[in-house]
Amino acid sequence: MALLQAIIDGLMLGGVYAVISIGLTLVFGVIGIVNFAQSQFLMVGMYVAYFAWAYLGLDPLLGSLLSFTLVFALGYAVQHSLIRKVLKAPEVAQIFLTVGILIVLENLALVAFGSEFKSVQTPYQNEAIEVFDLLISLPYAIAFGASVLAGLAVWWLLAKTWWGRSVRATAQDPMAARLMGIDPDKIYRLAFGLGVGLTAFGGAIILPYLTVSPSIGEQFGVLMFTVVVLGGLGNVLGAVVGGLAVGVIQSLSGLLLPLQLQNMVLFSVFILTLALRPEGLLRKSS
Residue 278 lies in a domain: no
Residue 114 lies in a domain: yes
Residue 63 structural domain = 2-214
pLDDT of residue 52: 95
Residue 8 lies in a domain: yes
Residue 188 lies in a domain: yes
Residue 138 lies in a domain: yes
From the list 145, 151, 150, 146, the residue with the least C-alpha distance to 236 is 151
Residue 97 lies in a domain: yes
Q: What tens digit of pLDDT does each residue of 231-281 get?
A: 877 777 888 888 888 888 888 887 777 766 777 888 888 888 888 887 777
- As for how many domains the chain has, the answer is 1
Residue 232 lies in a domain: no
**C-alpha angle with apex 203: 3 to 44, nearest 5 degrees?**
155
Report which DSSP code applies to 283.
-
Residue 274 lies in a domain: no
pTM greater than 0.85 (yes/no): yes
146: CB partners within 8 A, 6+ apart = 19, 61, 64, 201, 205
Residues of the chain with pLDDT under 50: 285-286
From the list 211, 226, 244, the residue with the least C-alpha distance to 60 is 211
